C-alpha cells in the first residue's frame, strides 16, 4: 500500500447487502482475521460513523450476552450461601438486643434487614459469588467505558492524524476505530466460570487493530501511524498525572501546617518567584 496519501481514491465504496450476516458478522469476522481492507470499506463507504457505531454495538451486545450466560453458569457451580445467610439473620433477630431495638422502633426491623442484605451482597462480591448487582455493574461498566474510550480515543487520534498530514474526517476514523474493538469478543471465553482474559493480551490486540484502522483510514507512513496509535494513551497518562498532581497540591494547601510551609518556602531566597 502506498503511504502518505489518503486511501479514498484506491478503495471503492462498498454497499453491503444481504442482511445481518453481511452487515455485521462479515466485517467483524474479517477484522478478527486481520483483513485490513474492511477498514477502508467502512471509512470510504456510506455513513462510516453510523456503520462503525452499529458494529461496536453488535460487538458489545455479543459480549454482554456472554456475560449473562457466564453469570448463569457461575450461579450453577458456585456454592450456595443463601442458607447460611438466612440462618445467621434468624440467629441475630432472635437475640434480646434485637427485640429491644424493635420494641423501641418498629421500623428498625426493616432497616436491619436491608443493611444485612447489602452486607451479604458485598461479601458475595468479595468472594467472587455471582450476584445481580455484580452482573449489572459489570455490564454497565463495560458499555460506558468502551463507548467513552472509543469517542475520546477517536477524537485524540483524529487530531494527531490531521497534524501528521492525514486527510480523513472524524466520522471516517471513528467508524473504523469502532470496528477495531473486535478483540473484545475474546471476552466470550469468560463464559466458563473462573476464566479471565488478561489485560496483557487484550491491550496489545486492541493496539494492533487500532493501528490497522488508522493506517487504512488516513494513509499515513508507518511511523506516523504508530505515533497516532500510541499518542492518545500518552496524552491520557500525562493528563491524569497533571490532574493528580494538581489535586494533590490543592489537598496539601488545605492542610494548615503544610500550607504555612509552602508559603514560607515562597519567601525564602532562591525559592520565591
| DSSP line for 47-63 | -HHHHHHHHHHHHHHHH
List the one residue out of 112, 117, 118, 73 whose CA is nearest residue 95.
112
Residue reference for cell 461479601:
123
pLDDT in tens for each of the 273 residues of the chain? 444 444 443 443 334 444 556 677 889 999 999 999 999 999 999 999 999 999 999 999 999 999 999 888 877 766 665 666 677 777 677 777 777 777 777 777 777 777 777 776 666 666 566 677 778 888 999 999 999 999 999 999 999 999 999 999 999 999 999 999 999 999 999 888 778 889 899 999 999 999 999 999 999 999 999 999 999 999 989 988 887 777 676 665 565 554 554 454 444 344 333
What distances in angstroms separate CA 92 from CA 101, 121, 230, 255, one per listed residue? 12, 18, 56, 43
pTM score over 0.85: no
Q: How far is it, in rounded angstroms, from Cα 231 to Cα 234?
A: 5
- What is the chain's alpha carbon radius of gyration, rounded to the nearest angstrom? 27
Amino acid at each position: 500500500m502506498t503511504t502518505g496519501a489518503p486511501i479514498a481514491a484506491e478503495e471503492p465504496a462498498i454497499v453491503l447487502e444481504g442482511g445481518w450476516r453481511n452487515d455485521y458478522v462479515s466485517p467483524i469476522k474479517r477484522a478478527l482475521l486481520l483483513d485490513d481492507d474492511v477498514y477502508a470499506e467502512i471509512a470510504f463507504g456510506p455513513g462510516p460513523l453510523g456503520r462503525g457505531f452499529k458494529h461496536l454495538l453488535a460487538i458489545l451486545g455479543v459480549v454482554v450476552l456472554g456475560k449473562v450466560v457466564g453469570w448463569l453458569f457461575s450461579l450453577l457451580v458456585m456454592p450456595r450461601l443463601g442458607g447460611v445467610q438466612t440462618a445467621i439473620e434468624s440467629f441475630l433477630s432472635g437475640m434480646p438486643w434485637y427485640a429491644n431495638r424493635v420494641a423501641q422502633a418498629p421500623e428498625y426491623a426493616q432497616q436491619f434487614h436491608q443493611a444485612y442484605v447489602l452486607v451479604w451482597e458485598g461479601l458475595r462480591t468479595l468472594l467472587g459469588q455471582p450476584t445481580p448487582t455484580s452482573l449489572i455493574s459489570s455490564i454497565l461498566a463495560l458499555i460506558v467505558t468502551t463507548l467513552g474510550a472509543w469517542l475520546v480515543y477517536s477524537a485524540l487520534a483524529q487530531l494527531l492524524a490531521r497534524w501528521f498530514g492525514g486527510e480523513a474526517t472524524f466520522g471516517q476514523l471513528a467508524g473504523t476505530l469502532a470496528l477495531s474493538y473486535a478483540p473484545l469478543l475474546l471476552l466470550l471465553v469468560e463464559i466458563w466460570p473462573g476464566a479471565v482474559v488478561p489485560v496483557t493480551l487484550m491491550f496489545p490486540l486492541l493496539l494492533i487493530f487500532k493501528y490497522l484502522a488508522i493506517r487504512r483510514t488516513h494513509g499515513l507512513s508507518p511511523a506516523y501511524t504508530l505515533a497516532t496509535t500510541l499518542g492518545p494513551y500518552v496524552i491520557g497518562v500525562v493528563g491524569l498525572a497533571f490532574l493528580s498532581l494538581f489535586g494533590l497540591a490543592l489537598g496539601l494547601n488545605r492542610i494548615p501546617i503544610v500550607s504555612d510551609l509552602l508559603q514560607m518556602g515562597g519567601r525564602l531566597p532562591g525559592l520565591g518567584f
